[in-house]
Amino acid sequence: MKFSAQEEYGLRCLARLALTENKRGLTIQEIGRAEGISSANAAKLLRLLRIGGVINSARGQTGGYRLARKPEEIKLTEALGALGDPLYDESFCEGHKGVADVCANDAECSIRAVWGALQGLVDSMLERITLADIVAPEHETRERARAVARETHEKMLERLGGEPFPTPARCRRRVSG
């Protein structure tokens, strides 16, 4: 499973805007140069983010792109939603039915259940991580992502009525105890 280059570079453009101290924002050329992408690619990504309501733009010589809100108010679900499609949605099966009018597994599809659960986990995590989290120092972002992953995992298991997977510490206790 991969995230697209569009999502990766789009988040990098957002991070660049979050970190700028320039009140007017940044131009397409400045963002492209800073992120090592062409101006055309930067323009495409910034257009998607603007249409998605994540950033604003101003025209003219003093114009540029700025975040629409504070970094701590921009959730990654919103940013990634502006940049591309989710991993799975209800229309997914429609595009994977082969040559038939309806998927051969439409009535009973355990694969659909897995994709739906995976999308739920991804959405739960990304809903709780903000642009402010990803512009923090990497070690802080890593700890935040781990904490959110743990909490998301525990909440999902509560809903499903299951036990959490053993953590490395739990595994060591079982082996040594």
Question: Where along the chain do its domains lie?
Answer: 1-69, 85-168
User: Rounded CA gap, 31 and 66, in Å?
Assistant: 11
One CATH from 1.10.10.10, 1.10.150.20, 1.10.8.60, 3.40.50.300 for 1-69: 1.10.10.10
Rounded to a whole number of angstroms, the distance between the first and last alpha carbons of the chain is 38
113-139 residue pLDDT tens: 777 788 888 888 899 999 999 999 999
pTM: 0.78
Q: What is the C-alpha separation between 6 and 42, in angstroms, rounded?
A: 10
Q: What is the mean pLDDT of residues 110-115?
A: 77
